Amino acid sequence: MIKNSKFLTVPELDKIPWLVHGFGLAGFGLESLADEREFSSFHPVVLKQLHSSRVFCLYEKPLRQLAGDGLVTSATGLMLIIRTADCLPVFLVDAENRAVAAVHCGWRSTAQKILAVTVDLMVKKFRSRPENLLAAFGPCIERNCYQVGPEVAEIFTRAVFDSGKILSPADRPGKFYLDLREANRSLLINQLGLRAENIHEIDLCTFCQPDLHSYRRERQTNSRLINFAGIRGRLI
């Protein structure tokens, strides 16, 4: 992890010359992207996030706001934006075919296997090979800070996740700790064919870190972390 005063990056992704990316800290907003000289030429694409498995493939800037939770592109000049405040932001990168995805993985999207939809789209549109994809996980709420009810646990069990790895009994009766990172990591490795060594994580908990927004900690705020990824070059 590389940290400046505004956002975090993953060293393995920093090595890709055509890629820009970052997981924003509290106080870094959409206007901050425009203020950064390196990013000012990009066109930001901001979803109306639904906690769904809807993923869009973009070849040019959209004419209207899209509603869903994942974006994929091989076009230069688009900045894919995912907003989070406890959910897990994930970037997928195809270095061979110059394609990138940004995905919002809350518990609902995770249970619907939105990363499977994204990988399948990259395979179909860009001939991506899952074993060569790179993944980057940003900050999210960690297992020991994230309790869910039995109905959520049942949804993950029915969705054929390894519940023994991602769920454990919490201190409160009927509650479970949910590990969003492990759920998405195991999906990528065990079901989608990514290599474990190609998955890189920023291991910070949004609930515990004061310089990150957390919906569960702050409750009364609509503030979100801005996570961004794009391909260098002028938008045509």
What dihedral angle (degrees, nearest 10) is formed by the CA atoms of 12, 23, 236, 95? 20
CATH topology of domain 2-143+199-231: CNF1/YfiH-like putative cysteine hydrolases (3.60.140)
Q: How far is CA 131 from CA 42, 197, 207, 209, in A?
A: 29, 10, 32, 33
pTM of the model: 0.95
Amino acid at 150: P
| Predicted local confidence at residue 4, as pLDDT | 65
Domain ranges of the chain: 2-143+199-231
User: What is the chain's pLDDT, residue by residue, as a tens digit (236 residues)?
Assistant: 665 679 999 999 999 999 999 999 999 999 998 888 889 889 999 999 999 999 999 999 999 999 999 999 999 999 999 999 999 999 999 999 999 999 999 999 999 999 999 999 999 999 999 999 999 999 999 999 999 999 999 999 999 888 788 999 998 888 999 999 999 999 999 999 999 999 999 999 999 999 999 999 987 678 899 999 999 986 65
